[in-house]
Amino acid sequence: MVVACDDLYGGTYHLFGSELKSFGIDMTFVSFSGLVEMARKNNVISMIDNTFATPYLIQPYVQGVNVVIHSATKYIAGHSDVTAGIVAGDQDMVQRAKEKMANLGCNLGPFDAWLAGSRMERQVKNAAALAQFMKSQQAIKKVYYPESASTKGNGAIVTVELDEKANIEAFFRHLSWVKLVATLAGVETSASYPLGTSHRNMPDELIKQHGLTKHVVRISVGIEDIEDIQDAFSAALNQSM
């Protein structure tokens, strides 16, 4: 039995909800709030994906999570040039993971490990500035950006919901140098469309429950000059109206 939060990445939701059943693994989806405490009270191993925050902002293991995983392809990849993953946590669990990796041939090469590095400080600062800037834009209905996530900042992902009158296709078409992508956390600023990528496999009722509409855009803020980032989105928003 696996218990998971109900606002997972769409592909993971599909994997847990459909594919794992063929291996005889049952799934239960619950709200994320209190999930770790639930696991602790019932002596169950807890695992969390900390890719968005990285250890720079949050260390879930210190807060009681047994196993922490990161997609090092994202922020931990210093130059957007690494395909890797990281497992941290209880020593016995990490040792078992290391043995599996060695036996299955998926351990990371030394050069790839050397390329990994953190660049979160600059991106977090830019994201905070962009989130504040977006709140003042007429074409923006709502800005989603964490508050008080850590003492070092609140992450580098800014999500916005455009006004119902905005033309979402025109917005994406006029993003200039900002690329529309299906992923996140590159060195460069990019935008993605959750309904068409990350959350397309989620059930309609969950999409509605979590506030996803056809006007929601997720922005992965990069390390460029903040004025350039703001200018690019301002121009696209103006064109959308």
Confidence of residue 239 (pLDDT cuts 50, 70, 90): very high
Contact 172, 229 (CB under 8 A): no
Q: Which CATH architecture is the domain 2-115 placed in?
A: 3-Layer(aba) Sandwich (3.40)
CATH 3.40.50.11740 fits 120-240, yes or no: no
Strand 27-30 and strand 2-5: the pairing is parallel
Domain with CATH 3.90.1150.10 in the chain: 120-240
* Res 69: pLDDT: 94
* Res 35: pLDDT: 84
Q: Identify the bridge partners of residue 206 per DSSP, sorted by sequence position.
A: none
**Tokens 């007429």 identify what position?**
138
Q: What is the pTM of this model?
A: 0.74
* Res 196: pLDDT: 84
Mean pLDDT across the chain, nearest whole number?
90
Contact 225, 131 (CB under 8 A): no
What is d(CA 64, CA 61) in angstroms, rounded to the nearest whole number?
A: 5
97-147 confidence digits (pLDDT tens): 889 888 888 878 888 777 776 688 999 999 999 999 999 999 999 999 999
Q: Residue 95: is its pLDDT beyond 90?
A: yes
For helices 120-134 and 226-240, angle between their N-to-C axes, nearest 10 degrees: 40
Q: Of 43, 37, 63, 49, whose CA–CA distance to 13 is shortest?
A: 49
Domain with CATH 3.40.640.10 in the chain: 2-115
Q: Of 48, 202, 56, whose CA–CA distance to 121 is shortest?
A: 56
